[in-house]
Amino acid sequence: MRLYLASTSPARLATLRAAGIEPVVLAPLVDEEETVRRAEQGRDPLPAAEMVQLLARAKAEGGVAANAGEPIDGLVLGGDSAFELDGVIYGKPHTPERARERWLAQRGRTGVLHSGHHLLLVRGGEVVRGVGGPTAATVTFADDITDDEIDAYVATGEPLHVAGAFTIDSLGAGFISGIVGDPHTVVGLSIPRLRGLVRELGVDWPSLWKRAGAASS
């Protein structure tokens, strides 16, 4: 069974490869801010878990639509992440100034990283069924991070394009003192949750491995 990843996140791609899966990468054309704005019309702001799940579904469906010229047969996975601190939801900071502000605010603090997952079973380009669900993990940042370390990290550009302005699988790892929950959730893709969704759609998990024994190699 072929898995399509409707995300251009290098971290999600690396996570799948480490789990023995070599996906086909799709680039869904989704305006995240507009998608959330439409969903919130006439109602309170979406909770973090609901927001990431909304965007994960939009990306999965967008991936199918973007590949309409070459009909998909397989599973299409969409994902999204957001960091919540003191009830405020933070996505990607995009600018160095905003990334620095966030690090000054979250230094020595604990927040929650939410990741949404939506998986579509697609045959001949037609969606047969979809399932999904969010996961969450708490993240605690070291309290001894210096301003100079924050400036050096921001200068690398890494925190500008990730939810919460941090990673656990690259340069940001040294600034995190603890994680409670599935570490893969903090990367943006929970492998245990994905396996559950795959099985819910009636697909055998090992059928996604790129080669026999990939999970243990």
Contacts 24+ apart (CB under 8 A), 201-208: 201/75, 201/119, 201/121, 201/129, 201/131, 202/121, 203/1, 203/75, 203/121, 204/1, 207/1, 208/1, 208/3, 208/20, 208/21, 208/75
Q: 181-215 burial string, b = 16+ CB within 10 Å, else e?
A: ebbbbbbbbbbebbeebbeeeebebeebbeeeebe
Q: With a cut of 50, list the residues of the chain below it in pLDDT.
A: 211-217
pLDDT of residue 151: 98
Residues 136 and 115: beta-carbon distance below 8 Å: yes
Q: Model-level pTM?
A: 0.90
What is the model's pLDDT at position 33? 87
Show the domain range for 153: 3-216
Which residues, in sequence order, are CB contacts of 120 under 8 Å at separation 6+? 60, 61, 64, 75, 76, 77, 78, 127, 128, 129, 130
User: Which of these is catalytic: 80, 144, 151, 169?
Assistant: 80
Question: Is residue 31 among the annotated active site residues?
Answer: no
Residues forming beta bridges with residue 132, ordered by sequence position:
118
Q: How far apart are CA 11 and CA 188, in angstroms?
A: 7
Total domains in the chain come to 1
CATH code at position 32: 3.90.950.10
